Amino acid sequence: MKQVVMGTAGHIDHGKTQLIKTLTGIDTDRLKEEKERGITIDLGFAHLTCQDGTEVGVIDVPGHERFVRNMLAGVGGIDLVMLVIAADEGVMPQTREHLAICQLLRIKEGLVALTKADLVDEDWIELVSEDTREFLKGTFLEGKPIVPVSAKTGQGVDELKHALQALVARVPPKQLEGKFRLPVDRVFTIRGFGTVVTGTLFSGMIRVEDRVEIYPKGIEAKVRGLQVHNASTPEAVAGQRTAINLQGIDKVELERGDVLGHPGEFAPTFMLDAVLQHLADAPRPLRHRARVRLHVGTSEIMGRVILLDRDELAPGEETYVQFRLEAPAIALPRDRFVIRSYSPVQTIGGGMVLDVQPAKHRRGDAGLAGHFRLLAEGSPEEIFAHHLKQAAHQGLRLSEFLPRTELSEARLRQVATTLQRAGWARAVNADMGWHLHVEALDTLTRELRRYLDTYHQQNPLKPNISLEELRAKVRSLSERVCLMALEELRQQGAVVVERDRVRLATHQVALDDTRERILNELEAEFLAAGYQPPRVEELFDKLHIGKGHDKALLQVLLDQGRAVRLKENVVFHRSNLLKAESLLVQYLRDHREITPIEFKDLLGVSRKYAIPLLEYFDSQKLTIRVGDKRILRGVT
Ligand SMILES: Nc1nc2c(ncn2[C@@H]2O[C@H](COP(=O)(O)OP(=O)(O)O)[C@@H](O)[C@H]2O)c(=O)[nH]1
Ligand SMILES: [Mg+2]
């Protein structure tokens, strides 16, 4: 069953509320003050059943210029508008403003009801109709029906109903696969039921028992009950006027402008990128950093307009802007919005949201135009690929990206899969939906190669670099991304990864004759020193090994396993270490345990060497410490 919502629009006292009462039998002026003053202050709600059974939700809006903000909260989700113009008065200021708002919000269907036809004669009707046609030229209502009607005499009411039903039949059915979203337009409590919110279900669907989040407040609640057109229902879908009874939440925590959605699918933002159209009849140019009221969904938020490519936006012009907001907004790409000047309060423009998690842009940046054009005109795949490219080596996780797209999670996964198949995206971790753009991966592998190359040149005596150091030096890479890029390089045969160490496949420690000689001398000294090797620095002095690369020769000795470093300054020759080991093992076989003093005597060394040696054997899992003694591991 198709879901349609119709809104009224038009100047105050032109007969909107009266006409809705005539059409639906419902008086939408429900507030006491509205009854007393005879004017509509806030949104009113009614519904009407078409002959083909389609239920049409009706939103009656206030016409008074002081209440345009309430009007804006109502028209965001409507499919068609009934622009009401009193035949005796014709087009008035809020007729223009409301039409401009509908135009900016890209409402696609509608008609004009020429009300109070009983107050004027036929010729007059002809004249006003002609004026109205002229007024509608170039708008979405150009060529749409203009129906003279009187709520008083009933004249034209049947024609109006026919015309409306014809329009309703033309409204395309809603996509139900989007994210569930309901911008709240009313909050109240019903005794015994608790808190109820209402709104036009903007996209997706909601079921009883669903958990929802109230954005931007971040409060969670459960859906206890749902009503559409005053009847309870287990689920509500996009396009329906919906009342949601929430469990576990207080009325005071909610207000118009909040958005209900499923948890994790939206994120509050203080910045929005958008394409902004300045109305042609705006009174003055819009200045950079002008303070405006942004109306998106049912919310009104103060903020400044950052003009990125100019200092002033002339009436009738359009450009890309960034909003810096004073309170958090909930919006998604492709949402329509309206802006009103701070004072005097007047509708001056509107447009479409492009990005809800933008960076702070540099004004005058030449690359911005292309960036925005892609966001405005690209396909979902192009847009996701673009964000992925911008995320560079950090990539994007789908769950993280979800609040930044109007796509549902399922649709977003499809988009990512399409990109992967086409070779544009690579999964870092499929389970997490973590992706990298191929160009980002290319850049990264190039950088890693370049870094390794420089590293080898600067450290010719080091055989490789630890993964950890490499990650820290190249863009502070996450481990997963680094491993992925290295795997790529390994498959190309460019690098060799051995456990947690990496080198270019072409790199080998090369020693010339002099260094080969120094290396051998160094080794000989360690070998000759037995269990009491000299401090490393002492040895360097003795062999006249100065600054520069030669000191790194010790590392070569260590890398090749010919010597072992026990502590910062304690290095043993491998064969001495092995000898000490077999003495220790023999002793422990005979005596089962050994104290540090006994060990000192066994090797004939001082404490300075005994302790590091014992700790080394512990670390090698040869021995285990029990109190102040050591025993062989695995022997109890
Ligand atoms: N003569 C006549 N008066 C009307 C008609 N429709 C509305 N009115 C009167 O116009 C005034 C404003 O009507 P209302 O529906 O509140 O206007 P709204 O501000 O556009 O909602 C009321 O006094 C109505 O009785 C009509 O068709 N004929
Ligand atoms: Mg009214």
Q: How far apart are CA 16 and CA 86, in angstroms?
A: 9
The helix-helix angle for 479-491 and 438-458 (nearest 10°) equals 80
**Tokens, residue 150:** 């009187």
Q: Is the pLDDT of residue 547 over 70?
A: no
User: Under 8 Å CB-to-CB from 580, ≥6 apart: which residues?
Assistant: 531, 572, 603, 613
User: Cβ neighbours of residue 562 under 8 Å, at least 6 residues apart?
Assistant: 523, 573, 574
Which tens digits make up the pLDDT trace of 289-336?
999 999 999 999 999 999 999 999 999 999 999 999 999 999 999 999
pLDDT grade, residue 346 (50/70/90)?
A: very high
Range with the lowest mean pLDDT among 432-446, 465-479, 507-521?
A: 507-521
What is the pLDDT at residue 559?
85
Protein residue closest via CA to atom 25 of ligand 1: 18
In short, whether 630's Cβ falls inside 6 Å of ligand 1 is: no
What integer is the mean pLDDT of 377-390? 97
DSSP state of 337: E
Query: Cβ of 397: how many Cβ atoms within 10 Å?
Result: 15
46: amino acid identity, one letter:
A
Whole-number Å distance, alpha carbon 309 to ligand 2 midpoint, is 42
Q: How many residues does the chain have?
A: 636
Distance of CA 486 to the CA centre of its chain: 29
Cα–Cα distance, 86 to 230 (Å, whole number):
31
Residues whose CB is less than 8 angstroms from the CB of residue 472 and which lie 6 or more positions away in sequence, other chains included: none
d(CA 628, CA 564): 25
> How far apart, in whole angstroms, are the C-alpha atoms of residue 476 and residue 579?
43
Mean pLDDT of the chain: 94
pLDDT higher than 60, residue 583: yes
Kindly state the average pLDDT of the residues 594-621.
95
Whole-angstrom Cα distance, residue 105 to residue 552? Answer: 70
Q: Is the CB of 269 under 6 A from ligand 1?
A: no
Give the HSE-up count for residue 260: Cα atoms under 13 Å, Cβ half-sphere.
32
CA–CA separation, 203 and 441 (whole Å): 36
Q: What percent of the chain has pLDDT over 70?
A: 99
The residue written with tokens 């209900």 in the block is: 260
Cα 14 to ligand 1 centre (Å): 6
pLDDT score of 37? 87
Whether a cis peptide bond, with omega within 30° of 0, leads into 216 is yes
Residue 549 falls in which region: left (phi positive, over 0), alpha (psi -120 to 50) or beta = alpha
- Over residues 375-402, the mean pLDDT reads 96
Is 14 near ligand 1, meaning CB less than 6 Å away?
Answer: yes
Cβ contacts of 340 within 8 Å, gap of 6 or more? 68, 69, 292, 293, 295, 346, 347, 348
Q: What is the pLDDT of residue 636?
A: 60
pLDDT of residue 549: 56
Q: Which atom of ligand 1 is nearest the CA belonging to 119?
A: 1
The predicted structure's pLDDT at residue 613? 96
Q: Which ligand is nearest to the CA of 10?
A: 1
DSSP state of 149: -
Strand-pair partners of 584: none
Ligand (nearest to CA of 156) = 1
Find the mean pLDDT for residues 515-519.
88
Q: How far is the CA of 15 from the centre of ligand 1 (A)?
A: 4
Measured in Å, residue 16 CA sits from the centre of ligand 2 at: 5
Contacts of 303 (CB under 8 A, 6+ apart): 291, 292, 294, 323, 324, 325, 326
Judged by its nearest atom, the ligand closest to the C-alpha of residue 95 is 1
Query: How far, CA to CA in Å, does 383 sit from each of 8, 106, 388?
Result: 36, 22, 9
Phi, psi of 575 (to 5 degrees): -70, -30
- Encode pLDDT of 252-297 as tens digits: 889 999 999 999 999 999 999 999 999 999 999 999 999 999 999 9
Tokens representing 269 are 């933002």
Give the per-residue pLDDT at 253: 87
- The CA distances from residue 445 to 436, 441, 475, 481, 482, in Å, are 12, 6, 12, 10, 9
Residues having C-beta closer than 5 Å to ion ligand 2? 16-17, 40
Given a cut of 70, is residue 548 above it in pLDDT? Answer: no
pLDDT in tens, 44-90: 999 999 998 899 999 999 999 888 989 998 888 899 999 999 999 99
Which atom of ligand 1 approaches the CA of 149 most closely? 27
The answer to whether 110 and 167 are in contact (CB under 8 A) is yes
Is the model's pLDDT at 386 over the cut of 60? yes
pLDDT at 591 over 80: yes
**Residue 220 pLDDT more than 80?**
yes
Report strand pairing: 241-247 vs 205-207.
unpaired
d(Cα 26, Cα 398) in Å, to the nearest integer? 46
**Ligand 1 pocket, 94 CB below 6 A?**
no
β 146-148/109-115 pair status: parallel
Q: Is 116 in the pocket of ligand 1 (CB under 6 A)?
A: yes
Distance of CA 429 to the CA centre of its chain: 19
Ligand nearest to the CA of 160: 1
